[in-house]
Structure 1
């Protein structure tokens, strides 16, 4: 009887050990799986934070570039007041020389007609010369429009004459002038107006907001995860 009971106890303890071994293996596999999942989640969170920081850094770089180009040109512009210009005279005064690129280290000359336009601003009797935009004003102090130089001078002449005809037909146009009257020239269009500034700042602002939201969401997820773990430990 003693030997039989001992054999039974030995067999029972063996089965218990086997169950404990199987349970321990499952527990180790579960712990390993959780650690692997946590490692993958942490790597994903780190990449998301780096992405957010990269977006924020890129947006600041875009702000810097825009600040020294478009925003600076917009702030330095003196043609800030919008008015109504009445075309008084639109004539071609002479042919202007220009050069175009014909290949590697090759430049050739061409000519375009210089259209000169005089207007009256807001019917005040103030006569001013009209220029197409700031770029044209910097390129030529006499001509209304400076076309892109090309070999076909006839095409450039046709463009200038079409502009002249349109100005003669539409003698009342919107223009921009210097309210201090230090510049006699007025502009037909502005290269950097409010709409250009808005569209230039819109995309960097979207990138900055998106990067900040990514970082905030990752940090919020981490906080909620730690909070759930603490609640789980308290319940245990």
Structure 2
């Protein structure tokens, strides 16, 4: 199996199961034009996020890591009219692109907040914010364990926590890695496994984004 074949299969799935969407295409073009890194989720991964949110019956969604808002659009489309999505972005430049993309997608339920995510999350905890039904963690990996700790404070029994990019091309199994990204993901998964209020799994994926994977954790009590 090769990267070319993985990408071709993703393209087949996308063409078959995810109808062409100019709003999403425009979001990617705007992100590219602004020089944002090309690390948004693939279309079939975005559709998976939407389906997870719909299956969850999510009314309140928290996204940690906005980039250009591509995954935000997928998640936002799962919300009812009275739903709410809060997405956190460290870069003001990225946030500006995301806000324009969300406006084009006609998603007034989505709010972009700029600043270090840990600071914003701590503020939300201090404000006794209403719990979120789904949390998508897709930001700087060294902080993943801290994001999980805050997510647990901002969710309720039955909430779903999704972690992206947890396989890292297979490097996640290297306990001796000096890469803080790898160690952050490992600590995140170990915390997930050990936490008494979580039941979880992780899946490996291959596709247009290469060899990676995601974790799913349900808050149990």
Structures share a fold, TM > 0.5? no
Structure (1 or 2) with the larger CA radius of gyration = 1
TM-score, normalised via structure 1 length:
0.20
TM-score, normalised via structure 2 length:
0.21
